Each structure stands twice: as structure tokens, then as C-alpha cells.
Chain A
């Protein structure tokens, strides 16, 4: 039996019930014991009374017998007869006298029942005896009461004058004998008076008030009262045994006491006791239950209910209980209250931690989502619009990468403070319901993670207002932040979505604000309001961006190689690496479709590193079979803003043991022109190492040759748009010719891309182009195929003698 499955109430009820039963059982048992004790006591008492009465009656019998003995010898006739019997041995006179005396007593004396009179001399020889008419002594021989005579014989001197008496058995009948000395002061002999004692003892009946029964030693009934009960078990029988002086049993005296009344009163007393015990037990049990209920069960119940309510509603943690009850209950209550208080503060701090960004102390993404959800709940009723801003910091990653995370963190703190201050401004949070201010204050500005912030602006109901706020934010960022002695300027890209116009649920609203934010980033326009028309495209971009981050790990990026042919000798002089994305779902994706996304998302950095690593690894492999192949790698404009790029390239070269001369970096004009001074610095450094630099897509940008002149460039790649129809288009021909002249003048070699036929090749050869690249020779191919191709075409002239010798 498991106690835990029972309530305290049940256990108590069982225990108290058992106690009640025990009390009743005790009452019953004690009643029975009491009855026995009472009877026992009664018997003992009656026995004592019988003892006293019997003693008294025997004493009477003794006195009467003694008086008879004394009276017998007091007559002169007896003395004379006695003297004659002694002296002359003539016992006749004494016999006659004795018979007369016996007869007289036997007939008239109702006081005693005389059985025998004996006269003895001093030596106990019988002088005369009489038992006339006594049935008792007829036909029986033997000495009466030998014990008595033994005692008498043992005496000497004056003691022999003492009167002796004893109870004894004669022919199995009790008799009482009294020995009286004869002779006054001088002993002459004895008179023995023998009586039947039951005659006198039966007189006790009137004193005792109870019927009597005498029974001999041999169970023979000697006397029985008339009203002795027929059935002895209905009466209380007491028994007293009369004994001879030597202790031998002579006679049993029985009394019968009518105990029906006693039994009845005992029964009544027992019932009374049971009733009192029952009522008392019941009352005590009830009192016990009442007290326990009041002091334990009810408080425990309250406590249990409280715990249940806390279980279902955590906001009630910390509520205090006041319970009165036993000492233990008070201690439990106080313990509960302490625990509740501690738990409450712990819960609050946990909640705070769960919903607060530890760096900026702004609400975090969890809090933002919860707040947004509750705003949507509230505003769904009123259909009142509000605005969601998703704010991303421009160029923040650069700060983190270049100045370290501690600076980045400080900057984030400063930015969040500034955002918070601006957005708390009254003109932004206007028209708010008072009751919502508290909630909104929390949900107003949140940091979603990294350099991404959000703001829920309930006071902004129109697109115009939201634009004003966005501009205000952008303007606020124009003032540079001073962090650890660094002067930092940071831009914002703000995506704006309005409820309910741009989404009625949280997911839609947030993703639309996200799309708008990316749009703002792409267009570098600071902010953008969600436009459903652009949604589809944007979603695609977002998806790609997400996939892009996983692409390297998933080995989806593949490096293709397109050989570069020296026009002078028709041999392979290098290869351009071209990245391809083997997307799991969308198949092969051209770089034009994902490089911009990589640039916007900051993924360009790891992507460039991957390309460099792979290209140099392959280059190393070529070196292993003694093919020193120059590899061209395209760099993005963003790579040039990263001052670490130079050191990355150096470490890569060292890693793969590739001489710097075998690496050519291709850059677009626009990439250089983004920040020409910084680009020149980086490129100069790389040039010094021995790395070749090439300007890609030359002619399409608006680069000035003045800059080109300053750059440590080794090569120009004429954009394929000029090459396609050079055989037909005289303008293109002129441009190419001019570029070639210029380049050669500046000691730069020129690469022509997009050569698809022999005619074009011939023309370019004619014009004096140095290196050719295009489908005419080979399409871009993966390294494995490229190797095979290279093996096949190595040391081979790929075309006939050039038309013009250089």
C-alpha cells in the first residue's frame, strides 16, 4: 500500500477511526475485567464474612460445650460418682449420671446437637461415655479426634487445666470436640463434649442473608438451605473451608449470592461506560479532525491551490501567502513566501535576460516579436496603421573586420542610443494611447542581432510621415561617431513596411520590411518602402542570399578555367578563373546573378578567399607537373576596400607555394574608381610583391587614363563588346586600335576577350593584340577538364602563323 496515494484527510480519518475502535474495544475489555474483578472481590468479601461468622459460631459452640462440661462436673453427684469410678472402678453410677445428662441435653437442647459425652481420667482412659440415640456414633468404632488428644497428652503442669477444642472427622463426618478438665484447681480427669458443628454453623444463614451449603471433605452434602439455587451458575458461589487445628480440611461452606441484580447493574454500568466512551471518542475524534482541518488541511489546501495557480500562471509568482495554522504550517508558509519572492526575482531577471540584448540593453528579437505580435493584436481591432522599420547599418562589417569587435560593439551601442533617442522623440511617438505607451516604449527600438535594428512606430500612419522619420534617422547618422579615438561614419539602410497596408501578420510584415531594406541597400538609397511589385524578384534574391551562405560548405561553388593564348607564339600563357554556382535546385548560376548578392550581403569576402585558395591550389597542382601557368582571379570592388586583402593574398601564395608572378588579379574600372586612392594603395602593395594586375572590361567604365597611368597595372583586358563584331564594325576596330597603341605606349600588355572565330583572331593579331581569350580556343571548363585540355594542347601552337609578325 502506498501512503502517497492517500490524502492527509483520509489517513487521519483512518487513524482516528482506528483509535475510536480501540477505545471501544478497551471499554468492552475493561468492562469484562471489571465484572470479573467485582465478582472476585465479592467472593473474597463473602469468604471473609463466612470466615468471621463461622469463627463466631464455632466460638459459641465451644462456649456452650465448655459450659455443658463445666456444669456437668459442678454437681456434687457427678463429683461423687467420678471419685467412686476412679477409686473403686465402679463406673455404673457415673454412667447413669452421664446418660441422664446426655439424654437431658439431647432431648431439650436445641442449642447444640450433642453427639457424645465422654468422661476420662487424667491418663485419658475412658471412665464413661454416652451417645444415647446418636445415629452418628452407632456402629462406628475408633477414637474420636485423635489429634485433639495428642495435643492434650503433650501438655504438662498447669497447661493441662486448659480447655481444648478442635474440629475433626469421625466416620467422614465433621464433629466438634471440647475437652474440659475435671477437678477445679486440681486435675482429676476430663469431660469431652462432642457435637455436630453444622447444626450451629447453619445459623449463620440468617446473619449472612444467603443460602448455605455444607459439604464434607468427601463431597458429601451435610447441610443445604431450602432456598439454595437449583442452578448454581445463576448465582455467585463463595466457598470457605473450615480446617482442623492441624490444617486438615474438615468442612466446606458454600454461599450462593443472587447476582442477577449485580449482573444487571454491571451490564448497565458497562453500557454507560461504553456510551460515555463512544460519545467521548466521537467528540474527541471530531475535535481532532476539526483542529487538524483548521490548522493543517485547510492551509495545506490553500497552499496546494496556490502552487497550482502558480503552475498555470507564472505572472503570479511572487505573490505572498498569509496562513495561520500549526507551527509547521507557519514555517512552510514563510518558506513558500521566501521561495516565491526569490523565484519571482529570478523569473524577472530571466525574463529580462531572455528579452534584452545584453550589449545595447535594447529589447532583443524575442521581445521585438512579442511586441509586434501584441501590436498587431491591438491594432487589428482598430485597423489603425503603424509602421515597421528594419534598419541595417552600412559598412558595419568593415568596422568590425578592420578595427575589431570591441570597436564594433561600442559603435553598436552608440548607434542604438542615437536611434533610440531619435525615435523616442515626441513627434514620432505622437498620438499614442496612454495605456500603450508603456508597452510601446519597450517594443519601440530593438536590436535583432548583428547590425540589424528594428523600430515599431505606432505614431506613423502615412508613408509620408515614415519617409520623414527615415530621413531623420539617416541625417542623425551623418554626424560621425567617435569610438576609441576612431572617427566612424556609418550609413543606414532602412526597410519600411506599414500595417496593415504591407502585411497583416507578423511574418508578412517583417519579411516585407526585410525586402524593402535589401532594396534600399541595393540601391544605396538609404531607405525604401516596400513595393509589392518588386516582391517576387526580391524574394528570389533573398532566397539566393540565404543559399549563398551555405554554398561553400555544400561544395556548390565550382571554379572554371578559360585559357589565355599568347598571340605571338600561339601557346597557352595563362588562364582566367571564372566562378560558377552549381545550385542544388536552380542548377548552374552565372556569376552575374549572384556576385551582386554576395557583394551586398558581405559574402564576397569569404567567396573571394575561396576562389583565391582554389585557384592557387590548382596552380600548385599545375606546377607539380611542371606547368607554370599564370592564373587570373577577379576581384570585386568591395575586396579593394578591405585592407586585409593584401595579407590574405600573400598568405595564400605562401600556403600553396606559388610564385607571385603566376597570379594576376583582374579588377574592373569601376572597382578602382570607387575609392581610387585606397585602391592605388592596395594595388601598389600587391604589385610590389610581384603580383600582376589587370584591368577588366576596359572601355566600358568611365575610367580616366590619367588614373590608369598612376596604377601599377600590367595588363588591360578589352571588353568583349568591342571584340564581337570587330571585323565588321570600324568604330570598334578604331577603339581597339587606339587602346592597343595607348597600352603599348604605357608598356601594358593587352588581352582580347570573346574571340569566337579565326577572322577576329586574325584581325586582333594584325592590330598587335598580345593575348587572346574566347570560345574560339576553349570555353571555360572545370579544372579536371582544363587539365586534360592543357595536356592535349600544351606546347602546341593553337593557330597558324600570325598574320603579322610583332
Chain B
């Protein structure tokens, strides 16, 4: 009886753990459409803004394995798990700098997480490229792959 109880507890624990891990890597469902304090953009908006503003930062919130599949030219790799005010400050010194966050796509959640962290750290010109790399390649935009 005691063993059974122990087993059930293990199962519950394991599932809880898994759900927490899921939250950190990927969302079960699509990400929200907006992040308070940030501006959600599409690939075209990103390109339009980039054409007019030479100084901007595009943060690739994906882990390195994902980045190896290809990335938007000029983007800086800063996986969400490594993102905090300190790491952000190393890449983007000014808080009012134009910063774009993207990850794999609407379900990946990393850019969402990084955007929120950046907002907390005080960055105030945050653009969230919600469609991410999936939208980019689907729209036949060029990318870099090594």
C-alpha cells in the first residue's frame, strides 16, 4: 500500500516537473498575441523597420541547436535560458535601443520569455517577432545557415 502511494506520488511529481519544463522550453499552445509593453511585429514589419533604422538589435532567443537550422542575418544569439538583465546589458547597452526578439515560432515561447525579461530589466523599445523563424522561412526570406 505504501509502495503504491509512493509510486503515485512519483508519478504526480514527475508530471509536475515535466509541465514546468515544458513551460520553459515550449508552450503547449500558441503564445499570446501581445505582450504588454512590447510591440508584436510580422516579418515584413521587421524588414520595413530594419530598412529604415540601421541601428537595431535582433535577439535570437533559441538555444544553439535550433539556431544551427538557420537564422536571420544580423541576429544575435541569446537563448532565453541565459537571458537576464546582465547578459542583456552586455549585448544591448542602451535601455532605449530597438530590440527584436524571435524564436522558432508561435509555439516556442522563448522569445516571449526573453521579451518579458527584457521589459523587466527596463528595456522600453521591445519588438516581438511572434511568428519567428518559421514565419521567416515560410515567407521565403533569406537566412543564414552554416
Contacts and interface: CB of A to CB of B under 8 A. Distances in A.
Interface stretch (A26-34, A181-189, A475-483, A511-519): A181-189
15 contacts: A67-B145, A70-B144, A70-B145, A74-B144, A157-B47, A158-B46, A161-B47, A162-B139, A163-B140, A184-B73, A184-B74, A184-B142, A185-B50, A185-B58, A186-B50
A243 B73 CA distance: 33
A70 B140 contact: no
Contacts of B54: 186
B43 interface: yes
B30 interface: no
Contacts of B72: 185
A161 B144 contact: no
Given A70-B145, A159-B44, A185 B140 contact: no
Given A159-B44, A185-B50, A185-B72, 7 more contacts: A70-B143, A158-B44, A158-B51, A162-B141, A163-B142, A185-B46, A185-B73
B48 interface: yes
Interface in A127-170: 157-159, 161-164
A281 B54 CA distance: 87
Contacts of A157: 44, 47-48
B142 A161 contact: yes
A119 interface: no
Contacts of A181: 142
Given A184-B73, A184-B74, A185-B47, A161 B141 contact: yes
A163 B50 contact: no
A393 B59 CA distance: 156
A764 interface: no
A158 B43 contact: yes
A802 to B, nearest CB: 181
Nearest to A185: B50
A729 B44 CA distance: 189
Contacts of A180: 142
Contacts of A67: 145
Interface string A610-653: 00000000000000000000000000000000000000000000
Interface string B26-64: 000000000000000001111110110010001000000
A384 B50 CA distance: 152
B67 to A, nearest CB: 15
Interface residues of B, number: 20
A207 to B, nearest CB: 25
A157 B52 CA distance: 11
A189 to B, nearest CB: 12
A595 B73 CA distance: 166
A464 B141 CA distance: 153
A718 B45 CA distance: 179
A67 B74 CA distance: 17
Interface in B115-146: 139-145
A159 B73 CA distance: 16
Contact of B74 (A159, A162, A185): A185
Nearest to A66: B142
Among B43, B47, B72, B143, chain A packs the most CB atoms within 10 A around the CB of B47
Nearest to A182: B142
Interface residues of A, number: 18
A428 to B, nearest CB: 127
B114 to A, nearest CB: 19
A158 B47 contact: yes
Given A158-B48, A159-B44, A185-B73, A164 B145 contact: no
Interface string A67-78: 101100010000
Contacts of B43: 158
Nearest to B58: A185
Contacts of B48: 157-158
Nearest to A187: B51
B144 A163 contact: no
A185 B54 CA distance: 10
A164 B44 contact: no
A162 B137 CA distance: 9
A333 B74 CA distance: 106
Nearest to A73: B142
A248 to B, nearest CB: 22
Nearest to A62: B140
Identify the 10 closest CB pairs spanning chains A and B, nearest first.
A184-B73, A158-B47, A158-B44, A185-B50, A162-B140, A163-B140, A161-B141, A184-B74, A158-B48, A161-B47
Which of B46, B54, B139 has most A Cβ within 10 Å? B139
Contacts of A185: 46-47, 50-51, 58, 72-74
A180 B72 CA distance: 14
Interface string A182-225: 00111100000000000000000000000000000000000000
B145 to A, nearest CB: 7
A752 to B, nearest CB: 172
A70 B44 CA distance: 19
B139 A186 contact: no
A164 B142 CA distance: 10
Interface string A495-522: 0000000000000000000000000000
Contact of A186 (B44, B51, B143): B51
A272 B54 CA distance: 78
B43 to A, nearest CB: 7
A184 to B, nearest CB: 3
Contacts of A186: 50-51, 54
B126 to A, nearest CB: 18
A114 to B, nearest CB: 19
Q: Which of A70, A74, A158, A186 has the most CB of B within 10 A?
A: A158
A9 B72 CA distance: 91
A794 B140 CA distance: 170
A254 B139 CA distance: 32
Contact of B140 (A74, A164, A184, A187): A164
Nearest to B54: A186
A348 B45 CA distance: 119
Nearest to B56: A185
A69 B48 CA distance: 22
Interface in B85-111: none
Nearest to B51: A186
- Kindly name the residue among B46, B139, B142 whose own CB sees the greatest number of chain A CB atoms within 10 A: B142
Contacts of A66: 142
B61 to A, nearest CB: 18
B44 to A, nearest CB: 4
B73 to A, nearest CB: 3
Nearest to A184: B73
A663 B50 CA distance: 174
Nearest to B48: A158
B51 to A, nearest CB: 6
A462 B141 CA distance: 150
Contacts of B50: 185-186
A162 B143 CA distance: 10
A571 B54 CA distance: 193
Contacts of B47: 157-158, 161, 185
B51 A163 contact: no
A164 B69 CA distance: 21
Give the interface centre of A159, A163, A181, A184 by most chain B CB atoms within 10 Å. A184
B77 to A, nearest CB: 16
Most central of B46, B51, B143 by chain A CB within 10 Å: B51
A66 B70 CA distance: 13
Contacts of B45: 158
A689 B44 CA distance: 163
B10 to A, nearest CB: 46
A187 B48 CA distance: 11
